[in-house]
Structure 1
Amino acid sequence: MDKFELIAPCHFGLEAVMKREILDLGYEIIKVEDGKVTFSGDAEAIVRANMFLRTTERILLKVGQFKAVTFEELFEKTKALPWENYIPVDGKFWIKKANSVKSQLFSPSDIQSIMKKAMVERLKSVYHVEWFEEDGASYPVRVAFMKDEVTIGIDTSGISLHKRGYRQAISKAPITETLAAALIKLTPWRKDRILVDPFCGSGTFPIEAAMMAANIAPGLNRNFLCEDWKNLISRKYWYQVKEEAQDIMDLNVQTDIQGYDLDGTIVKYARENAVRAGVDKLIHFQQRDVKDLSHPKKYGFIITNPPYGERLEEKENLPALYETIGARYKELDSWSMYLITAYKDAERYIGREADKNRKIYNGMMKTYFYQFMGPKPPKPKKTME
């Protein structure tokens, strides 16, 4: 069976999480770079990666990589790639996105135009046609230039994988599903531990945690572009992988996952999103102010994305807000707290330095993932037989 090189892009700073997920699925890592992990897999791997990976935005089928500093070089090297191995004669193909960093070729529109012409020339010579109807399945190409090195991949996912299909109602500063899942994976939280998000917004952290606890595949309730790629991926893989996803799901898992927000309307939206995700029975949502945050049990986790003052009028309230977070966390003396924020004075007002601090780029915004570690719970005593 044909082996492909597959590229899984991820947030800068979260490559290790992505790598671990791919290894857990059983695939071999080829390369880890800033913002992406390349791995090896067959046609079934394309299906399984789209279905099961929680922390990538999409899966790209790598077509080639080369150096190009002139448009002529770009044309010739693009034309030399075996496009016929991926795109059938009726396939619809175009350069969906081109980005360039520290490279001599940097105009996206010129890159797109020249590469499309090169692809057409190559496929004309192979298929012996002068005109392509392009009325079949879609094969959108994504191109990345980094220091004149060109990496070319065909997008297998279509709509970004962070769109799981459950989040229709969005609060004003949402965190993406893929980023939320990656951040949860950076913590030692497990499904038998308490998790509270006191700024839950549309519910992304609690919902992603509940999906992990119940082993619900992130791609189970959505479609993928490559489902139409009958030339590369047999339908049987889609049936088998969906069956695998349904078999491993456990909706009877016992959880203590809670989401609070001051805005009652937002809490209502979060509940609706949880229903769509199939995890509403696993989460307790409540309208509650962070100043009322408390919990009778020990060794829980706060994982949250508090406000960080994108608007000027909000900035004035941040010191008091973060002081409240610090005060409430201090009362939960055996708990751990993980929060992602762009607010640089977070530690100062929380009142203690984080045990770990990780820089993560959320889009173009630099954020900090502050990690305050609580004690580990005691191991359960072994009963004598």
Structure 2
Amino acid sequence: MSTRYRLFISITPGLESLLAAELGELGLLTSSFELRTGGLELAGDLELLKALCRCSRLAEGVRVRVGKPTAVRDFKALEAVVARQPWHAFLRRGGPAPRLRVSCERSKLYHSDAVAERVAGAIARAVDLDVEANRDDDGEAPLVHVRLVRDELQLSIDAVGERLHRRGYRRHVGQAPLRETLAAACLRAAGYRGRRALWDPFCGSGTLLCEAVLAARGVAPGGAREFAFTRWPSLAGRAPDATRGPLTAASALAIGSDRDHGVLRAAQTNVARAGLRGAVALLAGEPQSVADQIPAGALLVCNPPYGRRLSRSSRELVATYRQLTELLTRRRDLEAWVLTSAGELLRAPRLCWEVALRFDNRGLRVALWQLRR
């Protein structure tokens, strides 16, 4: 009988419904799932764990719950609960002590450092760990999440390792890169399926372009990487197959443009690393100057300049958004979705915008705006 896990799939808060929709389409959403702030929780076996890590484009991480939520109000109870968990299934005897990520909210045990010290000691004693082994490591030690909310303790262990947004193709980035998972979420919200041309007029290092074509081709984002769960003692000799999904839209075309020749070179490198030469076209120039090369009816999805380092009253920023709105006024065949924290700069006569999503990007509240024609 296969082991059953309680799994928490994390995502940027505000995008939980998109994650549920994606997992449903992939056939990975069990009937008992529950939406949580910042993710969703469900139960499944090893095959489901493998598929979640390998196939979700939106998920930021996957954790396995260790034990059930338990009331804890003092350090003695905390150590007792931690000590009786099945750590031998996840941690190797004599191996490095895990890294801990602790959060305490509205609990009697409110000092996270003190909680971390007790948890670390209890785990080390239970598994006979080498507590000195991970002091100078590079992040390969297992990661245990310790969450105390209203005196209720939930322990979890990271099943992923390196964060899921790191697909492996993006070695060069611009000044304000968009994480691959967030790019994928914007594309899903915009309804992109690879059936028409996509244009990003502020493409930067090409993240939106690569995510679009890889998704359209059905390439599993984690199909060629390893995950932390493959090193668990309980799964020794049961490493997952490095499978990829079927190619569904090999002819998908994405067009990126940018006025910065330096970031275009970075985009060219990233596109090549992703194996997408021939599927992504890169053009140099302002949006207005390259617009005539964009096919009629294209889907425009972009992440134009914004952020704390840019003043919303600066001439350059205002001019950039004005050019974009003038372009969209002229090219009424384009469907447009714009991710920005400066939505007020999109206002223009004859253009009606609506917020489709709100979430935080690098500590800044942003919105994905949809142009309603």
TM tier, smaller = 0.7 to 0.9
Call closer, same or farther: CA 1:309–1:156 in 2, change over 3 Å: closer
SS at match of 1:280: coil
> Structure 2: 5+ residue runs without aligned partners?
135-139
Once the two structures are superposed, the pairs formed by residues 60-79 of structure 1 within 5 Å of their partners are 60-64=63-67, 65-79=69-83
Q: Which of 244, 252, 257 matches 2:254? A: 257
Structure 1, 312-321 or 155-164: larger mean CA deviation? 312-321
Q: CA deviation at 1:68?
A: 3.1
1:96 is matched with 100
Please say if 1:270 is aligned against 2:234: no
- Cα distance change on mapping 1:101 and 1:301 into 2, 3 Å: farther
**Other-structure match for 1:41:** 44
Asked if the contact 1:203–1:273 (Cα under 8 Å) also holds between the matched residues in 2, the reply is yes
Contact 2:89/2:233 (<8 A) preserved:
no
Call closer, same or farther: CA 1:95–1:332 in 2, change over 3 Å: same
Does residue 1:347 correspond to 2:349, yes or no? no
| Residue number among 117, 121, 124 corresponding to 1:120 in the alignment | 124
Corresponding letter in the other structure for 1:39: L
| Structure 1 residue 183 corresponds to structure 2 residue 189 | no
Deviation at 1:156, TM superposition (A): 1.4
- How far is 1:120 from its partner? 2.8
Distance 2:86 2:256 in 1: 50
1:303-358: CA deviation from partner (whole Å, max 9, x where unpaired): 11111143256751322221111111112212211111111423335863313342
Q: Alpha carbons of 1:350 and 1:208: their partners in 2 closer, same or farther (altered >3 Å)? A: farther
* Root mean square deviation of aligned Cα: 2.5
On the 8 A contact 2:8/2:64 being kept in 1, the answer is yes
CA offset at residue 219 of structure 1? 1.1
Which position in structure 2 is the counterpart of 1:372? 371
Aligned to 2:13: 12
Q: Which residue of 1 aligns with 2:280?
A: 283
Contact conserved, 1:95 with 1:143, CA < 8 A, in 2? Answer: no
Q: State the AA in 1 paired with 2:61.
A: R
Which residue of 2 is the match for residue 225 of structure 1?
A: 228
1:88/1:231 contact within 8 Å kept = no
Q: Secondary structure at the match of 1:266?
A: helix
Structure 2 match to 1:297: 295
Contact 2:343/2:369 (<8 A) preserved: no
Where 2:168 maps in the other structure, the secondary structure is coil
Q: What is the rounded CA distance, in whole Å, between the counterparts of 2:5 and 2:330 in structure 1?
A: 52
- Alpha-carbon distance in 2 for matches of 1:278, 1:84: 40
| Aligned pair partner of 1:83 in 83, 87, 96 | 87
Q: Aligned residues: percent identity?
A: 24
- 1:69–1:230 CA distance, 2 compared to 1 (3 A): closer
Aligned 8 A contact 2:12 2:359 in 1: yes
Who is 1:205 aligned against? 208
Residue 104 of structure 1 deviates from its aligned partner by: 4.3
Q: Give me the TM-score of the superposition, normalised by structure 1.
A: 0.85
1: distance between equivalents of 2:324 and 2:256? 15
Deviation at 1:39, TM superposition (A): 1.8
Count residues in correspondence: 361
Give the unaligned 5+ runs of structure 1.
124-130, 375-385
Alpha-carbon displacement from aligned partner over 1:245-273 (angstroms, at most 9, x marks no partner): 1x6246x7112211111111110110110
Secondary structure at the counterpart of residue 366 of structure 1: strand
